Every structure is written in structure tokens, then in C-alpha cells.
A and B are shown apart, each in its own frame.
Chain A
Amino acid sequence: MTMTTAPVTGEWRLTKARVALPRLLWAELRWIFRRPRTLVVLGLLAVIPVIIGIALSFADGGPTGDADPPVFVTAASSALALPIGALTVLLGLLLPLTVTKAAGDALAGEQANGTLRGWLLAPVGKGRLLLVKAFGVAVVGLVAAGLVGTTGFLTGLISNGTDGLFTLSGTTLPLLDALGRVAIAVGWVTVQLWALGAVALAISACTEHPMLVLATVLGGVIVSQVLLVFESLDWLHPFLLPASWDALINLVRDPIWWDGLGEGVLRAACYLAIGLSLAYARLVTSDG
């Protein structure tokens, strides 16, 4: 149909052809969300806030001891604190694991299966390939954080009702306001996960072993969290991504403390830019 108008090149009379980007993005999402282990880990993420909610409702209300983090003391009676508390806890390990796994499968896993070749030969350019892969990982991050936020908020509403939207500061919020805060929390956590995902993609582009990506990134997260404990290393802290993860709790205060949250977004943006650049550099220079 377009044969007559498109530029025809060479003796073979070929025309340049390209697949529309949405088709690739859709194919990538279908692949990610049909994967049994993606579904298992997402299911787990959806259930954990419910489990936390149930556990807290059996805790007789009120402070049970000094060991409980204050956000969960509040969460026992506040539908607002539960989703944000759940996001904070899961951001420690399970959410990073979900995103890192997706990034590991995206390039290293596909390389190991020999499936990356299929797309490169179609051809899908390396830049577009990275775009599609980054999109897939980004969606996984959003869905993971969104699930935790949603089931956490619903669990909180069911066990405490809409009038129990207390903040840590002792005030009560209207439902829409609380919903907005949970949405901000989900968005903020998603951005942190994207930062991890970008770094994971960069490592994923360098190896054929998805487990190596997982070990490196999660190892990095854990080591960072350990380093953050030591005050003598405070010169290093601004460079560590988890440095601002505690700031999530500030969304349960009234008014919200934005300082730590804004800094967290900036830090994540830096990781994101560096991670994607490294991934791209590696992809275009490597022999696939």
C-alpha cells in the first residue's frame, strides 16, 4: 500500500519499515504479566497489607509496647497510616525485589533464553529496546506500589471506617484528603522503585544471569541501609538511595513535611538518569 510512496532503496527495492511503539509496549506488558512469578509476587504484595491490618486489629488497640514502630501504633486505629506504613515496610525489601526481578528478566533473562536476539533481528533498535524494557519495569513498579497502597487503604477503611483517618500529629483528615495522601505515597514509592529499576536494568544489560542482578541490587539496598545506621558515615548518606525512605512517614503528619520527600525524589531522579544512561551505553556497545 505504501510501497509506491515510501523511499525505495537499493537494487532489492526495500522500504524502511518500523513497528509502532505501542505494539511493542503492549507485547512487553503481556509477557510480563503472564509470567507466573510476576503474578505470585504481586499477589503477595497485595495480601501483606491485609495481614498487617488483621494483625493490628487483634492487638487490642493502643500501644502494645515500645517495640512497635509508631506508625503502626497509629495504623491500628487509622486507615491512613496502614497503607503508608505498609509501603514503608515493604520498600525495605519486597518492593525492590519485585522491580529488580523484573529488570533482571527484562534484559539478562531474555539474553539467557536467547529471546533478546529475536527482537534485535526483527529488528528492534537498541534505543527502542531499552525504552520498551524500561517501560515494562516502570509499570511493574507502579502496579506493585499501587497494589500495596490500594489493599492497605481498603483494609484500613474496612477495619476502622472512614472517620478514623488520624494523622501522627493527632488531627483527623477527610476521606478525599487521605486518599490523596495515599496516592502521593504510592507515586513517591513508585519513583524510588524506578530509580532502583534503572540501576537494575544497567546491571541487567551487562550479564546473562538475572540472579546476579537481583543479588547486586538487593545487596546494594541492604548495604546502604546498614551504612545509614552509622553517623560517622554521614558524608556518604546523601548518595544512598534509601537515605530518604524514612521520609514516607511524613505523609502521615499534618501538615505534611515535604523536605525529606522532595529530596528523595531528586535523589531518585539522579539514580534514574545514571542507571538508564549506563544501560543504554552498555546496550549499544555490546555484542548481542
Chain B
Amino acid sequence: MTETLTASAAAREAAAPRLATRTRGLRKVYRSAVAVDGVDMDVPAGAVVGMLGPNGSGKTTTIRMLLGLVRPTEGEVELLGQPMPAASEISLPHVGALVEGPGFHPFLSGRDNLLRLAAAEPLLGRRQLDAAVSDALERVGLSDAAQRAYKGYSLGMKQRLGLAGALLAPRRFVVLDEPTNGLDPAGTREIRRIIADLHAEGVTVLVSSHLLAEVEATCTHVVVLNQGTVVAQGELDELLESTSPTLLVSTPDGQPAVDALRDNRIPARLAPEGVRVDLSATTPSSVIETLVRAEVAVEEARRERTGLEDLFARLTQAGDPEDVPLDRVPELMS
């Protein structure tokens, strides 16, 4: 029965790019509240996907459903091509996760905590346990504190130990829920390095975070959640460019430039060092051409790339009137 199911799944996916996880119509209702609704999320193999969203947007609930910790009220989840939670014994050994903060026994040392966790890892042989634990501790820089009781760990050390737990066995997919919580800047950089290493090894990574700079620095893809639904997902570069088709032109003649552009039906407005031109209906070259013809002194023109912060604000807040309304970015809604 599972044989035929997975065989047909393989055939179905042969054409499409391989996905580390795929959800369709995912919905979770807790007693009174809808935590997640209609989430269709794709995590392409080999990508580093940043999962963004304000607190309470359903990030953790979605992750918990991906991992089979929570049963969806509706919808389906595939993890490494296997239906969850039915085939968790096939997929989960290859998945490392740090969910809802590190969970360890206070009275055991960091090393003993990891040994206990490693004992349950199907991919580790009995004789490999010690080495696997040492490697994981080394990887997160905790080797020196390995023998100390967990209760004496700082917040950052606890977080690192949690990360070590996710990296105990060789993984195909690593899920990190707020991995930089409680870490100092050096610790944050280290997490970034670990994610980059995993990426280089071809491991797919899903990182949830509300620290946007962190996501922008480490991710190839993003998924933005708001109020339990996906409001945008795709490659980071594409998303950033598609939302902000503007050209920033530096010029001392701001007002004449705006007038000239408006005469040619190109929307533009004054900006501190010049004018900001909307590129949704025109190209940078015709903007420059128009300005040069109007004898406006153009000092510099560059395509403006809005930071992730702006994009995020637009997608998750009812923004001020100057913001691009959601229906103006249909390409994000897919």
C-alpha cells in the first residue's frame, strides 16, 4: 500500500523540481482560534528558506505540522516526498529540527543530554553515538562546556545545544525555529555560518525568524506568513525586485524632473536627493531619455532595491497610503 503510494508520488514529482517539503491546504484550528489556514508552502530541495512572520502568524504551528508533532485539522503535508505523519519513520530520521527552543534535562550535562537524544536516532549506529555527539558539540562550539550540567548553561549555550541536537545525524533537511533567540552577535554569525555550511553541503534548510536582517543574509528563498496564511513566497531576489520597481534618480532639479516625467505619463515623486520613479509601466532607459530631453541634470540613476524590511512591512501590516497595496503585487500571491 505504501509502496504504490510512494511510487506514484515519485512519478508525479519526476517532472517538477524536488521539494523538501510541500503543504497543501494546511489548516489548524485550536479550540477557539484558527492558527493556520490554507497554507500551501513549497520548500525546494537545496534551498535555504527563511520563514517570516510576526509573532502569532502561524510559523511554529506550520513547522510543527511539517514535522508531524501536530496533526493538521485539514490539508496534507509531504516531508522529503513522504506523507506526514503517516510515513514519519521514513522521512524524520533524515530531518534535524530545533523547534520551540531547546529542550533538555537540567540535571544532565550537555553531552549526556545529546547522548540520550542520539540513542533514538535511527541513522546512528550504536558505536557511532559518542563520535556523533562529539562532532555535533564541536560544530556548535560547545566542546568546552560539554561536561557541565545543562542547568548552568547560558541562554546562548542552550540554543547551541539545541542546534547540536538537530545536527546529530547526517541530515537532508534541517528545520530551525528561531535559532538565534538569545544569541549574542557572535553567536548569530556562527548560526549563519552553520546554515551556510549546510547549504554548501546540499542540505535544505528552513529557518523561521522574525529577525529580517538575519534572513536576508542567509536565505535564498522566503515564505512570508501573516495571520495564519502565506502572503508571499519565492526566491528572495525575485521577491525583493518585483515589489519595488522604482528608479532613484539623483538630480538637483527635482521639481522640473517630476514635471517632465508626469508630462510623459510616468509616475514620479520627489525624494530627498532627487526623484523616485515608478518603473511598473516603463523602463529605466526611457526614464533617462525623457529626463535628458527635458534638460534635467541627471547625476546618478539606480534601481532601488527595497530591503526585506519594507517588503515585510507591506505584506504584514495595513500600511500607510504610500505603500504598494497587496493587490498590486499579484506575483507574490502565488
The chain A residues found within 8 Å of chain B, CB to CB, are: 7, 9-12, 14-19, 23-24, 26-27, 30-31, 34-36, 113-125, 287-288
Contacts and interface: CB of A to CB of B under 8 A. Distances in A.
A34 B108 contact: yes
A19 B119 contact: yes
Given A18-B89, A113-B105, A122 B122 contact: yes
Interface stretch (B80-88, B227-235, B263-271, B282-290): B80-88
Given A113-B103, A118-B117, A18 B165 contact: no
A27 B105 CA distance: 13
B165 A287 contact: no
Interface residues of B, number: 49
Contacts of B211: none
Contacts of B172: 12, 14
Residue picked from B9, B82, B121, most chain A C-beta under 10 Å: B121
B19 to A, nearest CB: 9
B95 A11 contact: no
Given A15-B90, A121-B97, 14 more contacts: A7-B3, A9-B10, A11-B81, A12-B81, A19-B120, A24-B119, A27-B116, A27-B120, A113-B104, A113-B106, A116-B103, A122-B93, A287-B64, A287-B69
A189 B312 CA distance: 63
26 contacts: A9-B2, A10-B9, A12-B91, A12-B94, A14-B80, A14-B81, A14-B82, A14-B93, A16-B89, A17-B123, A18-B89, A19-B119, A23-B119, A27-B116, A27-B119, A27-B120, A31-B105, A31-B116, A34-B112, A113-B104, A113-B106, A114-B100, A119-B117, A121-B69, A123-B92, A124-B120
Contact of B107 (A27, A36, A119, A122): A36
A37 B173 CA distance: 38
B106 A123 contact: no
A27 B124 CA distance: 14
A115 B89 contact: no
B5 to A, nearest CB: 9
Contacts of B105: 31, 113, 115
Interface in B112-138: 112, 115-117, 119-123, 126
Given A118-B103, A288-B69, A14 B90 contact: yes
A17 B103 contact: no
A130 to B, nearest CB: 14
B122 A18 contact: yes
A181 B97 CA distance: 52
B119 A26 contact: yes
A285 to B, nearest CB: 9
B69 A114 contact: no
B107 A35 contact: yes
Given A287-B70, A288-B69, A118 B89 contact: no
B253 interface: no
A14 B91 contact: yes
Residue picked from B81, B100, B122, most chain A C-beta under 10 Å: B122
A19 B2 CA distance: 21
A15 B123 CA distance: 10
Nearest to B70: A287
Interface string B1-35: 01100100110011000100000000000000000
Contacts of A117: 69, 99-100, 103
Nearest to A132: B120
A121 B67 contact: yes
B101 interface: yes
B71 interface: yes
A120 B18 CA distance: 26
B175 to A, nearest CB: 9
Contacts of A16: 89-90
B187 interface: no
A31 B120 CA distance: 13
Contacts of A113: 103-106
B107 to A, nearest CB: 6
10 closest residue pairs by CB, A with B? A114-B103, A17-B122, A27-B119, A10-B81, A122-B120, A123-B92, A287-B70, A9-B6, A12-B80, A17-B93
A10 B121 contact: no
B104 A115 contact: yes
Contacts of A36: 107
B103 A121 contact: no
B131 to A, nearest CB: 16
A11 B119 contact: no
B68 interface: yes
Nearest to A7: B3
